[in-house]
DNA sequence: CAAATTTGTTCGTTAAGCCTAACATTTAAG
DNA sequence: CTTAAATGTTAGGCTTAACGAACAAATTTG
């Protein structure tokens, strides 16, 4: 059974696979049709049709109303797409001076049209980076994803001192806000407290030392590990 | 009358416009449906339909069986696409270490998906280059094409000393052959003779001094100016 | 547990871009 | 000038990815 190259898949199929894989990268619950539709900006019926087609190609397993799971072949394609996306983001920031809030949309399109050769050249030029500008791990050329660790800041215990490992790149405006606050991958901070009904998490950051209040969406977008 | 951004056109429409414009860049005769079909690798009926659609959008003028001419709006889009294509080729060679025979196909795809922002960043990083790796002029961001001069080597008078201004990038294999021969934009040479029925042009190149015999396809692909 | 709501699927339609086959026009030869 | 060849156009179909409407299943609520 030959594995077709990613370039033989439609852009839509590539986006589906990448999204299915990404959904389980930081949390274990498998993705649903309606969540996919919302993220991709299409109707659920479109996704339902698309998933059925992917199942026919042996890239996902899915029975009607059942869960959506990648096959080994589907996962290989998905990881290849994630690698493309994250290398592109890194290249745009490191070589072309983009800021981290500008790169996601550009990479979302380019990931489908750059050749394997171009990916290799960017990877070489960048010195085989292992994390993208948002802290997300870049899978290797061999297709082995590097498994990330971490929890959402909103779930980190008060009193702990942690380092930021990744910040979700989903919302450019939020990324610009984090830039203002001086929050980025590798920033260290101490979780001061969670105020549950206000949905506010307070953290203390050094250099300069300061306290920052973060709402639920912000503290969900930031992932941390103990240091 | 607003001019829509290039990104609002289909990839096919972008390719059509670029091809129509390019056809008259180095020779005056307007392009035909069958030549377009051959270059684009599609059937003439496909091109005929496509041209009709472009005419409906006000990007070309064309009556059935008539000639194909760009409108001002069509020309603006075409020049923007040529700029994209040539900046991409230059970027791939100068920044990512591609050789000049590898870049055309990659640029042919990427030109449709890179953003205006990315084009600007590449242009800045490259220092606003005016020629691509094949010697073709890169139109400015203002949309003003730089008018190239030159004649095909096959049409240059024997005895003249000339400089290569451009080499057609249509055939990668020929480009690799020219690399072996040491022929590139700005190479100076003296046209020794044309042997008409053999269809061979002999030229003398310096450093190291050597004579080179070029067949018709090669001497048609090379454009020169008097020095 | 039954009803209401949410979620997912199927089906018919549309728009692009491509194809082949048939036909029309223009150009080139005799 | 008339026919033959080359070139261009039109019409009808195919595929893909999208949509909405109608329907089915699963989940939540009362
Ligand atoms: Mn994408
Ligand atoms: Mn990212
Ligand atoms: Mn080119
Ligand atoms: Mn193209």
Grade residue B1 by pLDDT with cuts at 50, 70 and 90. Answer: very low
pLDDT of residue A2: 41
Q: Test B106 with A115 for CB contact under 8 angstroms.
A: yes
B60 class by beta-carbon count within 10 Å (0-12 exposed, 13-18 middle, 19+ buried)? buried
Specify the pLDDT at position A167: 95
Mean pLDDT taken over chain B:
92
Residues of A in contact with B113 (CB under 8 A): 109-110, 112-113
Last residue of a domain, one of A113, A147, A181: A147
User: Is A96 found in the same domain as A29?
Assistant: yes
Best to test chain A binding among B96, B108, B119, B126 (most A CBs inside 10 Å): B96
Q: Quick one: A126 and A221 in the same domain?
A: no
Number of structural domains found in chain B: 2
Do A170 and A217 belong to one domain? yes
Residue finishing a domain among B98, B118, B147? B147
Scan residues 121-140 of A and list those with Cβ closer than 8 Å to B.
Answer: 121-122, 125
* Burial bucket for residue B141 (CB in 10 Å: 0-12, 13-18, 19+): middle
Interface contact flag, A117 B110, Cβ < 8 Å = no
Q: Which residue in the set A92, A113, A125 is minimally distant from B113, CB to CB? A: A113
Which residue in B87, B103, B107, B121 has the most chain A C-beta atoms within 10 A of its own C-beta, making it the best mutation to test that interface? B121
What pLDDT, on a 0 to 100 scale, did the predictor assign at position A206? Answer: 87
Q: Are residues B208 and B136 in the same domain?
A: no
Residue B186 sits at φ, ψ, to 5 deg, of 85, -5
Confidence band, pLDDT 50/70/90 cuts, at residue B7: low
Q: Is the CB of B50 under 7 A from strand C?
A: yes
CATH number at residue A94: 1.10.10.10
C-alpha distance across the termini of chain A, in Å: 45
Q: What is the pLDDT of residues B42-76, one digit of tens each?
A: 999 999 999 999 999 999 999 999 999 999 999 99
**Which domain range does residue A174 map to?**
151-226
In terms of domains, do B24 and B136 share one?
A: yes
Among residues A147, A182, A207, which one ends one of the domains?
A147
pLDDT at B145: 74
| Residue found by looking up tokens 């993220």 in the block | A39
Judgement on whether residues A102 and A173 belong to the same structural domain of the protein: no
- Within an 8 Å CB–CB cutoff, is residue B99 touching chain A? no
Does B125 score more than 90 pLDDT?
Answer: yes
Give distance CA A44 / C1' C7 (Å): 9
Q: What are phi and psi of B67, to 5 degrees?
A: -80, 165
Q: Which residues of B touch A112 (CB under 8 A)?
A: 113
Is A102 found in the same domain as A170?
no
pLDDT band at B126 (very low <50, low <70, confident <90, very high): very high
To the nearest whole angstrom, how far is the Cα of A201 from the nearest Cα of chain B? Answer: 36
Q: Tell me, what CATH number does B181's domain have?
A: 2.30.30.90
| Residue A118 sits at the chain B interface (C-beta within 8 Å) | yes
The pLDDT value given to residue B199: 83
The verdict on A158 and A140 lying in the same domain is no
Q: Are residues A186 and A79 in the same domain?
A: no
C-alpha–C-alpha distance, residues A76 and A95, integer Å: 28
Contact A108, A85 (CB under 8 A): yes
User: pLDDT-based confidence at B40, cuts 50/70/90?
Assistant: very high
Strand C reaches within 7 A of the A64 CB: yes
Q: Which residue has the tokens 């008060």?
A: A158
pLDDT tens for the 227 residues of chain A, in order: 345 566 689 999 999 999 999 998 888 888 999 999 999 999 999 999 999 999 999 999 999 999 999 999 999 999 999 999 999 999 999 999 999 999 999 999 999 999 999 999 999 999 999 999 999 999 999 888 777 778 899 989 999 999 999 999 989 999 999 999 999 999 999 999 998 788 899 999 988 899 999 999 999 999 999 98
Are A96 and B118 an interchain contact pair (Cβ–Cβ within 8 Å)? yes
Distance of CA A196 to the CA centre of its chain: 27
Residue A1 is predicted with a pLDDT of 37
Nearest beta carbon to residue A125 from set B96, B114, B122: B96
pLDDT bracket for residue B4 (50, 70, 90): low
The answer on A163 and A85 residing in a single domain is no
**pLDDT of A208:** 85
Instruction: At A36, list the tokens.
Output: 């996919």
- A165 with A199, same domain? yes
- The model's pTM is 0.90
**Residue B136 in this model has a pLDDT that exceeds 50:** yes
Are residues A12 and A118 both part of a single domain?
yes
């Amino acid at each position: 059974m030959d594995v077709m190259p990613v370039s033989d898949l439609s852009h839509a199929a590539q986006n589906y696979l990448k999204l299915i894989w990404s959904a389980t990268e930081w949390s274990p619950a498998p993705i649903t049709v309606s969540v996919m539709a919302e993220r991709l900006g299409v109707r659920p019926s479109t996704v339902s049709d698309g998933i059925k087609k992917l199942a026919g190609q042996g890239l996902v397993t899915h029975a009607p109303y059942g869960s959506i799971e990648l096959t080994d072949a589907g996962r290989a394609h998905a990881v290849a797409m994630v690698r493309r996306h994250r290398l592109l983001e890194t290249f745009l920031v490191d070589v072309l001076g983009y800021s981290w809030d500008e790169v996601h949309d550009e990479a979302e399109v380019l990931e489908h049209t750059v050749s394997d050769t171009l990916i290799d050249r960017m990877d070489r030029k960048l010195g085989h980076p292992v994390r993208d500008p948002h802290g997300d791990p870049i899978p290797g050329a061999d297709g082995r994803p590097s498994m990330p660790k971490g929890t959402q800041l909103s779930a980190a215990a008060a009193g702990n001192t942690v380092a930021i490992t990744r910040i979700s790149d989903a919302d450019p405006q939020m990324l610009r806000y984090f830039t203002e606050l001086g929050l980025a991958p590798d920033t260290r901070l101490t979780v001061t407290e969670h105020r549950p009904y206000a949905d506010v998490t307070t953290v203390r950051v050094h250099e300069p030392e300061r306290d920052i209040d973060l709402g639920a969406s912000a503290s969900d977008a930031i992932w941390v590990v103990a240091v």
